[in-house]
Amino acid sequence: MSDELLINVTPQETRVAKIENGMLQEVVIERASRRGLVGNIYRGKVCRVLPGMQAAFLEIGLQRTAFLHLSDIVTNEEKKNGTAEVTINDLLRDGQEILVQVVKDPMGTKGARLTTHITIPARYLVYMPNSNHIGISQKLEGDEERERLKAIIKDLLPEFNGGGYIVRTVAEGISEQAVRADMKFLEKLWQAVQENNNAEHSAMMVYEDLPLAMRVMRDIADINIDAIRIDSRETYDKVIKFANKFIPELADGIEYYPGERPIFDLYGVEDEIQRALQAKIKLKSGGYLIIDQTEAMTTVDINTGGYVGNRNLEETIFKTNLEATQAIVRQLRIRNLGGIIIIDFIDMKEAEHRRQVLRAFEKALERDHAKTCITEVSNLGLIEMTRKRTRESLEHILCEACPVCDGKGTVKTVETVAFEIFREIIREARQFDTKKLLVLTSKKVGDYLMDEETSSIAELEEFMQRSIQLQIDNEYSQEQYDVVPM
């Protein structure tokens, strides 16, 4: 399998696309005016404690206050000692200042999610200054290698000032010297964070995570990536310098792309991004998916569409569902869909078919870096799953609610709006003693009133003993109208 990373940089935004076997699988966008906050550390000030929710809101210098739940404050040690029954009032008070880290970006109307369990990542290790735990990435297989790395950490701990560590997947096979270098780097970084936090009149943010291009390089878990192509000379120089210092094994694969044709166009990424903003996704067989993203959850519906198969209905349904598993996982990654996701597979009668579809879905999810949890296929053909969400979805970054339908996806029919206008005319006539009423409305509704409802308007004028004048305003949306007494 060939993997490539494309990094497109402009002064306004940085975009990173991951290509697997020639197909886009993930895209991350970071805008200069709205950089992601995950990983940033702040000196937060408690502005409101909510005992009923066992949580608190903190001011960290953003437009909206951030949210800190009790479960993100109580440590594992406290739970072991039987003191986990503490309440939020025992730990926080209004006006108190504490060091917190963002674990989830602000989304929609919700503020950032915080934790007091600070973690600072480096290339091979994640440092936890408020813990003494030593952990190994679950994706790092091999008991012997896991024990070797844990032993190295334990042997080196006396050289440093405490804290815990998590060994990352990419640390497999690294030397003790490389581990020590990472630990030294992390200790110096934590000292700088503490100095910033203790400095008088310092800003609320005491540590900012790396920009997207550097962050992607640091967090690359797969060292078998064939190429990393960057279309900005300035960013390329920074990435090369970063790679030579921290990931020399990847440095040879980093290339500067100077071509006139945009790099995302060259690989068809722009077209894939546009398709990922649509509700309908076509499958090669002729079937299709309908993906509906709401604030509460995301639903995915599978349909056979134009695929009729060549054996029987059950076999057709099975093959459509099997093909859909790959397409669904790909769309989850490209769109960065998170939270609760309900997948409505076409009903399969045979238990073996349901089992194979579920296993294919699980296998496709193995390459997804986000943490997922899925259930068995229900009797209704549904799979319920959750996918960890730390940043906004592609749709939320690139789109906004339609100003005409206000995000509903539908508008009232012309007939419905016309009848609403009639009711409003009667309401205004009874409230104001005037001889004429002016109706301002959109062109479609105005044309309908003048063509289809002319007799109704005449009857209304006779009934109320006053004239009704229609005026079309091209700036009005279909649902918009005004009835003005004259």
Interatomic CA distance for residues 442 and 447, integer angstroms: 9
**Residue 31 DSSP code:** E
Angle at 223 between CA 209 and CA 218, to 5 degrees: 10
Is 0.75 topped by the overall pTM?
yes
Query: Where residue 78 falls among pLDDT bands split at 50, 70, 90?
Result: very low
Higher-pLDDT residue of 134 and 220 is: 134
What percent of the chain clears pLDDT 90, i.e. is strictly above it? 60
Interatomic CA distance for residues 29 and 105, integer angstroms: 13
Handedness of CA 288, 293, 294, 297 (dihedral sign): positive
Handedness of CA 459, 460, 465, 466 (dihedral sign): negative
Interatomic CA distance for residues 481 and 439, integer angstroms: 7
Q: Report which of 414, 407, 408 is spatially closest to residue 477, judged by C-alpha positions.
A: 414
Q: How long, in residues, is the chain?
A: 486
- State how far the alpha carbon of 374 is from the alpha carbons of 55, 154, 298, 299, 353, in Å: 28, 36, 14, 14, 17
DSSP E strand boundaries for 225-287: 227-230, 254-256, 280-282
- At residue 447, the pLDDT reads 94
Q: Report which of 439, 437, 368, 436 is spatially closest to residue 20, judged by C-alpha positions.
A: 368
Interatomic CA distance for residues 68 and 73, integer angstroms: 8
Residue pair 434/485 in contact by the 8 Å Cβ criterion:
yes
Averaged pLDDT for residues 51-68: 93
Averaged pLDDT for residues 391-400: 90
How many other C-beta atoms lie within 10 A of the C-beta of residue 42? 26
Domains, the chain, in order of start with CATH, read 3-35+211-270 (3.30.420.60), 42-207 (2.40.50.140), 276-388 (3.30.1710), 414-485 (3.40.1260.20)
- At residue 221, the pLDDT reads 59
Angle at 448 between CA 444 and CA 451, to 5 degrees: 135
Q: What are residue 469's DSSP bridge partners?
A: 438
How many other C-beta atoms lie within 10 A of the C-beta of residue 433? 8
Q: What is the dihedral of CA 373, 376, 378, 383, to 10 degrees?
A: 40
DSSP readout, 393-462? -HHHHH----TTTTTSS----HHHHHHHHHHHHHHHHHHS--SEEEEEE-HHHHHHHHHTSHHHHHHHHH
Q: What is the pLDDT of residues 182-209, one digit of tens each?
A: 999 999 999 989 988 888 766 789 999 8
- State how far the alpha carbon of 16 is from the alpha carbons of 104, 208, 271, 367, in Å: 20, 20, 15, 17
Q: What is the pLDDT of residues 424-450, one digit of tens each?
A: 999 998 888 888 999 999 999 999 999
Strand arrangement of the beta sheet that strand 372-374 belongs to? 280-282, 288-293, 298-303, 339-344, 382-387, 372-374
Angle at 123 between CA 193 and CA 224, to 5 degrees: 160
Interatomic CA distance for residues 359 and 345, integer angstroms: 14
Question: Which H/E stretch holds residue 155?
Answer: helix 143-156
Query: Where residue 281 falls among pLDDT bands split at 50, 70, 90?
Result: very high
Q: What are residue 63's DSSP bridge partners?
A: none
Averaged pLDDT for residues 344-366: 91
Q: Report which of 227, 318, 209 is spatially closest to residue 267, judged by C-alpha positions.
A: 227
Quickly tell me which residue has 């598993």 as its tokens. 325
DSSP E strand boundaries for 106-203: 113-115, 120-121, 125-128, 134-136, 164-167
Listed in sequence order, the residues at least 6 apart from 314 whose beta carbon sits closer than 8 Å to its beta carbon are: 348, 349, 350, 353
Q: What is the pLDDT of residues 301-328, one digit of tens each?
A: 999 887 666 678 888 889 999 999 999 9
